[in-house]
Amino acid sequence: MEDDNMRLILLGAPGSGKGTVAEELTKLYGVEHISTGDIFRANIKENTPLGIEARQFMERGELVPDEVTIAMVGDRLAQPDCEKAFMLDGFPRTIHQAQELDKLLAKKGLALDAVINLIVSDDIIKTRLSNRRICASCGASFSVTFRPTKVEGVCDICGGNVIQREDDKPETVLSRLKTYYEKTQPLSDFYEKEGLVLRVESEVDHMGTIRNIQKDFLARGIIQE
C-alpha cells in the first residue's frame, strides 16, 4: 500500500496520547491529522457559531452532539488533502459516529486500514492532563514534565502564551473519563469485530509506542520495509 493512502483512527481515553502519537505518524508518513477537538477549539477561539455551540459541551466534559460533529467531519473529509488518506484523532466517539463514518467511506469506495487503541491507566491520565499546557495562539501541546517549553509559559513554536487547557481542570477530567467509558470505549468492540484494532500500551515513552505501531503496520502490509 502507498503510505499516502493510509486511513487510520486513533482511539483512546482523554490524555492517552492521541495527539502526541498523531504528530509522530504525520512526520513519518505525511498523513493528514484531523483532530475534532482541535477543530472545535479553533472555532471556539474564533467565536464561530460552531464554537459557541461546542463550548458548552466541552467545558462540561460531555460530547458535542453527533449531528454537529458528523457534519463537521464530513466537510473536512471532502477536502482534497484528506479525500483518500487521513488520520482521525478523537472521531468517531460514539457507535452512531462510527456507523456514519462507515457509510461515508462506503460511498467513496474506501475502507479503514487500522484503528489504533491507546491504552493508559486512569491515574496516569489524570497526572498527564494536570501537567499538560497548550499554546493559546497556535494550539501546540506541551507538558511541564514530559515536554516542557524552553522558556516557562512561552510557546517554543510561535512565542504565544502557554496555558492550561480549559477542560483539563480535575473535575472536568473526571467527567471526560466518565463520558469516555460510557460512549467511546464500546467502539473498541465495534472495530475489533472488523479485525482493525491495534492495541498499544501508551504508558512507555511515546517513541516505543510508535515503534510498536510500525511493527504492526508492517505485519498488516500497511507499510513496506
Residues marked as catalytic = 18, 93, 132, 165, 176
Q: Are the beta carbons of 115 and 196 closer than 8 angstroms?
A: yes
d(CA 134, CA 136): 6
**Partner whose binding site includes residue 36, from ligand AP5, Mg ion, none (CB under 5 to 8 Å by kind):** ligand AP5
Could you give the CA distance from residue 34 to residue 54 in angstroms, rounded to a whole number? 17
Cβ 16 to ligand AP5 shortest distance, Å? 4
Phi-psi region of 147 (alpha: psi -120 to 50; beta: other; left: phi over 0): beta
Beta carbon nearer to ligand AP5, 1 or 156 = 156
Binding-site size for ligand AP5 (CB under 6 A) equals 36
Nearest to 217 by CA among 132, 134, 116: 116
Query: DSSP label at 173?
Result: H
Give the residue closest to Mg ion by C-beta: 19
Asked if 43 interacts with ligand AP5 (CB under 6 A), we say: no
Distance of CA 147 to the CA centre of its chain: 18
Q: What residues numbered 98-127 form the site for ligand AP5, per CB under 6 A?
A: none
How many residues bind Mg ion (CB under 5 A)? The answer is 2
Residues forming a β-bridge with 141: 134
User: Between 66-77 and 49-58, two packed helices, what is the crossing angle to 10 degrees?
Assistant: 130
Does position 166 interact with ligand AP5 (CB under 6 A)? The reply is no
Stretch of 63-71, 78-86, 108-116, 193-201 contacting ligand AP5, by CB under 6 A: 63-71
57 binds, among ligand AP5, Mg ion, none (CB under 5 to 8 A by kind): ligand AP5
Contact flag: residue 19 with Mg ion (CB under 5 A): yes
Q: Does 7 bind ligand AP5 (CB under 6 A)?
A: no
Residue 69 or 117: the one with the smaller Cβ distance to ligand AP5 is 69
Q: Which one among 15, 34, 100, 113 touches ligand AP5, defined by CB under 6 A?
A: 15
Virtual torsion, Cα 83, 87, 91, 95, nearest 10 deg: 80
Q: Residue 58: is it exposed, middle or buried by C-beta count within 10 angstroms (0-12/13-18/19+)?
A: buried
Q: Whose Cβ is closer to ligand AP5: residue 91's or residue 217's? A: 91
Other C-beta atoms lying within 10 Å of the C-beta of residue 172: 19
Binding site for ligand AP5 (CB under 6 A): 12, 14-20, 35-37, 40, 57-58, 61-64, 69, 90-93, 97, 128, 131-132, 141, 143, 146-147, 167, 176, 202, 205-206
